[in-house]
A = this chain, B = another copy of it.
Amino acid sequence: MQAIERNGLQLDLENSSSIEKIRLQTSTEVTAVKNADLILVCVKSTDSESVAQDIAPHLLTHAVIVSLQNGVENAMLIARYVKNAVIPAVVYVASEITVPGYVKHHGRGDVVIGAMSSLRPPHSHQTLTDIAELFASAQIAVRISDNVMRELWSKLMINCAFNAISGLSQLTYGKLAERDSIRSTQTDVVKEVIAVAKADGVVLSEPDALHTVANLATAMAGQKSSTAQDMARHKISEIDHLNGFIVRRGYAHGIATPVNQALYALVKLVESTYAESAP
C-alpha cells in the first residue's frame, strides 16, 4: 500500500512497451467501503468470511460486491454476511507481484461474471451489464455467463490440475506439460474434480476439460501458479480452497479423490515447515 501511495500502481502489461503508472487512493480500513457503489473483493479465499463480516456494517444498500477470487464458494460465503448483491467473477489472468506495487502481467486478463441464483437479493441483468460496461471502459473484457458456477468450477478444475504441482516443483505450466507422467496425473485430478462437480450439480465435460488443461499449458507456458508464488515466499497458499475443497466435497458425497488428496497433503506438509524457516 505504501508503495502504491508513493509510486502509483505500476502495471507492466504483456505486449506493452511502457509501464502504466496508476494513481490510487489506498486504505487498510474497512470503513473505506462506506461510499462505494462497487466493491471488488480480491482477498485470498481464506479471508473471504472475515472480510465480509468486517465490511457488512459499512456498505451502502445499493452497493454491489464482485468476488474476483479462486474457488467456487466465495460469493456464497460473502452473501452470508451482507444483504447486498454478490456477483461471482472468474478471472483469467497470468500475472505476479514481483515487488510491492508492481504487477507483472504475463497473459490474458479477461473476466466472466454472472448471477448466482441462490443469492439474495436477486440482482438484475442490468447490474451485470453495467459492470461489464464499466470494465470494458477500462479495456478489460468481461463476458456475462448464464452459468457462472460452471465457469467457476472449470477454473477450479484448472487450479487443481496446475497449482499444487507447479508449487511443489516450482516449475512453469509449460515445464509441467512436457512430461507424460504429469499430464497423466493432471488427467486423474480432472476426473476427480468432474465427479465431485457432478455430485454438486455442475456438469463439466471431460474432453473439454482436458482440452482446456492442454491449452493453458501452451497459452501460459511461462507462468508459475499462485500456489508456487506463495510457496516460494513461504506464505500459506489457497490450497484449502482448491484441491482441499475437492477432497472435502468428495468426502461429503462419498467420492474418492486420492490424487487431489495427495497433492493437497503434500502442499500442506511443506507449508507446515514455514514457521521454522525463512524462504
Is A181's CB under 8 angstroms from B265's CB?
yes
Is residue A176 within 8 Å, beta carbon to beta carbon, of the partner chain?
A: yes
Is A269's CB under 8 angstroms from B165's CB?
yes
CA distance A9 to B17 in the complex (A): 62
Which interface residue of A165, A182, A265, A270 has the most chain B CB atoms within 10 A?
Answer: A265
Is A188's CB under 8 angstroms from B266's CB?
no
Is B168's CB under 8 angstroms from A265's CB?
no
Q: Which of B171, B176, B188, B272 is in CB contact (< 8 Å) with A262?
A: B188
How many residues of chain A are within 8 Å of chain B by beta carbon? 26
Given A179-B272, A181-B265, are A258 and B169 neighbors across the interface (CB < 8 Å)? Answer: no
**Chain B residues near A272 (CB-CB < 8 A):** 175, 178-179
CA distance A264 to B262 in the complex (A): 12
Is B171's CB under 8 angstroms from A265's CB?
no
Given A165-B266, A262-B263, A263-B262, are A273 and B171 neighbors across the interface (CB < 8 Å)? Answer: yes
**Chain B residues near A188 (CB-CB < 8 A):** 258, 261-262
CA distance A55 to B264 in the complex (A): 46
Is residue A31 within 8 Å, beta carbon to beta carbon, of the partner chain?
A: no
Shortest C-beta distance, A122 to chain B (Å), equals 39
Is residue A259 within 8 Å, beta carbon to beta carbon, of the partner chain?
A: yes
The 6 closest A-B pairs by CB, nearest first: A181-B265, A188-B258, A185-B262, A185-B265, A169-B269, A258-B259
